[in-house]
A = this chain, B = another copy of it.
Amino acid sequence: MNRDDAVALDQADPLAPLRNLFDLPEKTIYLDGNSLGALPRATAGRVAEVVTQEWGQGLIESWNTASWITLPQRVGDKIARIIGAGQGEVVVADSTSLNVYKVLASALSIAAEDSPERRIVVSERSNFPTDLYIASSLCRDRGYELVLVDSPSEIEGLLDRTAVLMLTEVNYRTGYLHDMASVTALAHERGALTVWDLCHSAGAVPVDLRGADADFAIGCGYKFLNGGPGSPAFLWVSPRHVDRFSQPLSGWMGHAAPFEMSPGYRPAEGVSRYLSGTPAVIGISALECGVDTLLAAEAHGGLQALREKSLALTRLFADLVGSRLPGFTIESPLDDARRGSQLSLSTGEGAYAIVQALIERGVVGDFRAGSPDILRFGVTPLYTRYVDIWDAVDHLVAVMDNDEWRAERFWTRGAVT
């Protein structure tokens, strides 16, 4: 394998034209779409239209005339196509953190009725911290114990006394991909409900919530959905629970008739009761462009074709690391079936500085502190090329061979590291 082989793979790639749907900086190899997705070409124009026309000229009437009021459901329906949910089952709202609070509270309320003797919530210590902070808060307030496992293999032994099993489908550090269908089936067989965080899987791997018979799910708008920095997030609830779930952040937009302005809360039908405050119109409009861009892949083989390319990219990355970078350990699963859309590496020392040195060379991955510290490289098959992987590894080899990473300027941490 040499660089020309990588170029040839790109030339033969039927998904290659999709890269033109993004505005990417020219000299950057961007391998951080799992943290913040790139800017779709359509977004700037659409956001400008929302700001200058819909807001500036339409003003308050745009809630009706520009259909702002149904944006959470309209974009939710588009996201549904990416995560194996039905139409009318998904809404866009708030942030991942707040949505975790809502769905976990819903699941706990159902568990409290159906199996009040179950007093633990189970998650992984390696789950994304915000999920754990939120779960910890809710468990404390509701008298549950949050039990964190260090390995997925410990989960089964806890299920008989578990109220809710809360997992992130793809681990943010390692890219480990749970088998949602089998884990959910096992949880149900043993009487536990499931809450799935799709932050690193929605848009990155094919998700099939209905097929897996999951209970509740949430996910992020600004990673593989390319919704922009701090984009609103989404929620899904299984049709099985939709008639009975409640949630504590019961703001007016989740009311059955918000503009009746009645002092008593009456929840909206279905998933819309997860709405709380006034929808973030500009943010949801930007997210819609990101989701549309992903859906454009449907004409090129869809999520399955994206998944195959993603696996080919991370496999190539792993092969090149194996042959050219003996000082690095691959922290992501080598089994395709268990690997999300990223490759994570660790090394003896200097992970942070190595990431900084790569950034100076135009290769943008990121650093995640922990044991071990991680160099994280996300691939987004919509715009990542095979040659990007080849070049990124080549730069990493240079950073190491030249001891570039030891330069003092790479050791000063920014606010966001």
The one of B229, B262, B366 in contact with A281, judged by C-beta atoms closer than 8 angstroms, is B229
Contacts of A230 in B (CB 8 A): 68, 277-284
Is the Cβ of B416 less than 8 Å from the Cβ of A134? no
Complex CA gap A94/B30 in Å reads 29
Q: Is A63 an interface residue (CB 8 A)?
A: yes
Is the Cβ of B64 less than 8 Å from the Cβ of A415? yes
A98-B277, A134-B250, A276-B95 known; A364 vs B61 contact (CB < 8 Å): yes
Q: Is A97 an interface residue (CB 8 A)?
A: yes
Binds B, one of A2-10, A49-57, A178-186, A314-322: A49-57
Complex CA gap A52/B129 in Å reads 30
Complex CA gap A286/B47 in Å reads 11
Binds B, one of A35-43, A80-88, A331-339, A341-349: A35-43
For residue A57, give the distance in angstroms from its CB to the closest CB of chain B.
5
Complex CA gap A158/B61 in Å reads 41
A95-B251, A280-B280 known; A262 vs B129 contact (CB < 8 Å): yes
Q: Is A252 an interface residue (CB 8 A)?
A: yes
Complex CA gap A95/B284 in Å reads 14
Is the Cβ of B137 less than 8 Å from the Cβ of A249? yes
Is the Cβ of A64 less than 8 Å from the Cβ of B255? no
Complex CA gap A60/B277 in Å reads 28
Interface string of A276-320 (1 = CB under 8 A from B): 111111111010000000000000000000000000000000000
For residue A163, give the distance in angstroms from its CB to the closest CB of chain B.
17
The one of B35, B259, B263, B277 in contact with A132, judged by C-beta atoms closer than 8 angstroms, is B263
| Count of identical protomers in the assembly | 2
Q: Is A133 an interface residue (CB 8 A)?
A: yes
Interface string of A109-134 (1 = CB under 8 A from B): 00000000000000001011110111
A252-B97, A282-B283 known; A59 vs B44 contact (CB < 8 Å): no
Q: Is A224 an interface residue (CB 8 A)?
A: no
Is the Cβ of B364 less than 8 Å from the Cβ of A232? no
Is the Cβ of B98 less than 8 Å from the Cβ of A28? no
Is the Cβ of A277 less than 8 Å from the Cβ of B95? yes
Complex CA gap A382/B68 in Å reads 26
For residue A41, give the distance in angstroms from its CB to the closest CB of chain B.
9
Chain B minimum-CB-distance residue to A28: B59
Contacts of A54 in B (CB 8 A): 229
Q: Is A408 an interface residue (CB 8 A)?
A: no
Contacts of A125 in B (CB 8 A): 263
Is the Cβ of B278 less than 8 Å from the Cβ of A222? yes
Complex CA gap A48/B286 in Å reads 12
Chain B minimum-CB-distance residue to A142: B141
For residue A99, give the distance in angstroms from its CB to the closest CB of chain B.
8
Complex CA gap A52/B289 in Å reads 14
Contacts of A44 in B (CB 8 A): 48, 51-52, 56
Is the Cβ of B57 less than 8 Å from the Cβ of A229? no
Is the Cβ of A137 less than 8 Å from the Cβ of B265? yes
Interface residues in chain A, defined as those with a beta carbon under 8 Å from any beta carbon in chain B: 23-25, 28, 30, 32, 35-36, 38-39, 43-44, 47-48, 51-52, 54-57, 59-64, 68-70, 94-98, 101, 125, 127-130, 132-134, 136-138, 141, 148, 222, 228-233, 248-253, 255, 258-265, 276-284, 286, 359, 364, 366, 368-370, 414-417
Sampled A-B contacts (7; CB under 8 Å): A35-B60, A44-B48, A63-B415, A141-B141, A229-B279, A231-B280, A282-B286
- Beyond A64-B416, A94-B277, A229-B279, 7 additional contacts (C-beta under 8 Å) are A28-B59, A36-B60, A48-B48, A63-B416, A98-B276, A148-B263, A280-B280
